[in-house]
A and B are shown apart, each in its own frame.
Chain A
Amino acid sequence: MFIKQVSVFLENTKGRLAEITRLLADNNVDLKAMSIAETADFGILRVIVEDPENAVAILKGKGFIASITDVVAVELNDRPGGFADVLEILAKEGINVNYVYSTIHSKKDTAMIVLKVEEPGKVIDILGANGVKLYKATEL
């Protein structure tokens, strides 16, 4: 139930993000979730798409440093504390969360969050055992 996230290194220059999103759009790649981590001179774009291998190939073909990272997507109850519940489960098990972001679409009364953790396999087991719903990429 890993989700394969595509990570792309981006120079922080004008039009670079437009260029990359247009490139994906021209190749019919739909973005299910995305986030950007940025610094003054570079950023890392993280996206979830249906066919990550294909997206990486397209990006690499245009010279981008692109790679795949395993992440986990979980469903939260859309109420105050829904996210805290999940984080507390992980904290209790001593799991560090590197970063989180939300998906673009979500079902009614729920929110979907993408989590990057050190040991995604272990996290899937822990969250599953605690009754947290995990998503496959195709369900996003």
Chain B
Amino acid sequence: MIWNEAIECADRSEIEKIQLEKLKKVVAHAYENQMPYRKKMEAAGVKPEDIQTLADITKLPFVTKDDLAENYPTGMWAVDKHDIVRVHASSGTTGKPKIAGYTRNDLEMWGECVARCLAMAGADQDSVVQVAYGYGLFTGGLGAHIGAEKMGCMVIPMSSGNTQKQLMFMQDMKTNILCCTPSYALTLAEAAEHAGLKPENLHLTGGVFGAEPWTEGMRWEIEKRLGLKAHDIYGLSEIMGPGVSASCDENAGMHIQDDYFYVEVLDPDTLEPVPDGEKGELVITTIGKEGMPMIRYRTRDICYITHEPCACGRTTTRMSRVFGRTDDMLIIRGVNVFPSQVETVIARFENKLTMNYKLYVGREDNKDTFELAVELADGLAIDDIKYVEALKADIDRELRSILGIGCKIRLLNPGTLPRSEGKAKRVEDTRNL
């Protein structure tokens, strides 16, 4: 099902007309009501009336996560607090969260966007949607929730964790659409297998997975083990939350809600646009948001886009999966490696490993060395060398499948790695290149 055919399948020229109109409006709104951005525009010598075409967007200054930190907590909000009805937050780099405020219209827009994404995963009014993203400040839970409710589904607001109960509801309420992180989907699959459940004992048909990077390999595994079609959903709390884009049955990139988000892909160094199909940093302008409009927000996420129509019938811009983030990419033996990818692998060993890890990159004999040190989970019982060697081999195999390169693995007792107050320092790169 296509939730909003009039928009999602409109001619590109029609979409662009809507985008330009809304872009002008949001720039005027920011200029009038978002003082930090007005100052940036003044410094750049650009006025709202300078925006006459979509290409004119390049005249506008960027917004980064630093702007959110500098204007903490609500300096980037562009409406009176009276009009804010919801707050979400995500962790910032300096310890202070990034706090987003939503007006009633913003929530309405969010619901519309997520409903479109759920429809891509096969949901309709008769669906039973189990939301196993965390509820709270994190946008995952309430974001999926608002879309499913807007669609008229039966929503089960499970939040994350409580795996046995998740399985019980899945069976007893005949859940057909599951929303959670891909790593949690695998945890659920594992728990279901331990409980002797086969995919056909569950009623799942579609999954909407996001909030962390994952791979095609993980997709196949989830699909096979849970007996559903796995869909990608993308979003970030500064922009809105999940629902900025999602993948349809064609699995050919994620459809961006073009009437709410104008996207650019730029070379992260020169900040010049790159052609369709070429990787770069995703920059998003929210063209429909009131509470905290973001103009040319640098997401730091690396992906590519295409404007070709999709075989599903939708004509919206599609983005590839996110390959990683510009701020933490490492190049090891010529391969791009993102700590987030390593984290994804560690998360799959949740009963055996903790998320306390560190990557060591060095150089010996003109070759890069790459080592992962990770703390074992409390409560493990280890009496056997073979057990540890097998665990290391499992981790190595998963890392290779995601990163494409091998990595030396060092397992540590809990509490061995240094702890930090702010963002953990995950990488120690001692190469002097």
- Residues of chain A whose beta carbon lies under 8 Å from any beta carbon of chain B: 5, 7, 9-11, 37, 39, 41-42, 44, 46, 60, 63-65, 67-69, 98, 116
Instruction: Please give the residue numbers on chain B whose beta carbons come within 8 Å of chain A beta carbons, in ascending order.
Output: 376, 378, 380-385, 388-389, 410-416
Q: Once the chains bind, are B388 and A63 in contact (CB under 8 Å)?
A: no
By a CB distance below 8 angstroms, the chain A residues around B378 are 60, 65
Are A46 and B383 neighbours in the complex by a CB distance under 8 Å?
Answer: yes
Let me know if B411 and A42 touch, CB within 8 A.
Answer: yes
Interface majority SS on A: helix, strand, loop or mixed? strand
A67/B384 in contact, CB under 8 A: no
Decide: B385 and A67 in contact? CB cutoff 8 A. Answer: no
Cβ–Cβ < 8 Å partners of A63 in chain B: 413-416
Q: Pick the contact of A11: B381, B382, B385, B413 (CB < 8 A).
A: B413
Task: Report how far A67 CA is from B376 CA in the complex, Å.
Answer: 13
Contacting pair B381 A7 (CB below 8 A): yes
Q: Which of B385, B414, B415 contacts A44 (CB 8 A)?
A: B385
Is the Cβ of B383 less than 8 Å from the Cβ of A7? Answer: yes
| Closest residue on chain A to residue B371 by CB atoms | A41
Please indicate the chain B residues that have their CB under 8 angstroms from the CB of A7 in the complex.
Answer: 381-383
A126 and B384 CA atoms in complex are apart in Å by 24
Contact: A65 with B385, CB < 8 Å? no
* Residues on A with beta carbons closer than 8 Å to the beta carbon of B389: 39
On whether the beta carbons of B380 and A67 are closer than 8 Å, the reply is yes
Enumerate 16 A-B pairs (CB-CB under 8 Å) in ascending A order: A7-B381, A9-B411, A11-B411, A11-B412, A39-B385, A39-B388, A41-B410, A42-B411, A44-B383, A46-B383, A60-B378, A63-B414, A63-B416, A64-B413, A65-B413, A69-B381
A41 neighbours in B (Cβ, 8 Å):
410
CB within 8 Å for A9 and B388 given contacts A44-B383, A69-B383:
yes
- The complex places the Cα of A17 from the Cα of B385 at a distance, in Å, of 17
Nearest B residue to A10, CB-CB = B413
- The interface residues of chain B lying within 8 Å CB-to-CB of A116 are 383
Interfacial chain A residues near B416, Cβ < 8 Å: 11, 63
**B7 CB, min distance to chain A CBs, angstroms:** 55
**A9 CB, nearest partner CB in chain B, Å:** 5
- Asked whether, in the complex, the Cβ of A65 is within 8 Å of the Cβ of B415, the reply is no
CA separation between A92 and B120, bound complex, in Å? 64
Q: How far is the CA of A46 from the CA of B383 in the complex (A)?
A: 8
Instruction: Tell me whether A44 and B412 are in contact (CB under 8 A).
Output: no
In the complex, the answer to whether A44 meets B413 with C-beta atoms within 8 Å is no
Smallest Cβ-Cβ distance to B385: which chain A residue: A37
Smallest CB gap from B411: residue in A: A42
A127 nearest CB across to chain B (Å):
21
A105 to chain B, nearest CB (A): 23
- With both chains docked as a complex, state the minimum distance between the C-beta of A114 and any C-beta of chain B, in angstroms: 12
Residues of B within 8 A of A9 (CB): 376, 380, 382, 388, 411, 413
B381 x A67 contact (CB < 8 A): yes
A44–B382 contact, CB under 8 A? yes
Q: How far is the CA of A119 from the CA of B414 in the complex (A)?
A: 30
* In the bound complex, CA of A11 to CA of B383 (Å): 14
Give CA–CA (A67, B416) in the complex, Å: 18
Contact assessment for A65 and B382 in the assembled complex, using a CB-CB cutoff below 8 Å: yes
| A65 B376 Cβ-Cβ under 8 A | yes
- Note all chain B residues with C-beta closer than 8 A to A69: 381, 383
Kindly list chain B residues whose C-beta atoms are within 8 Å of the C-beta of A68: 381
CA distance in complex: A116, B381 (Å): 15
Cβ of A65 and Cβ of B414 under 8 Å apart?
Answer: yes
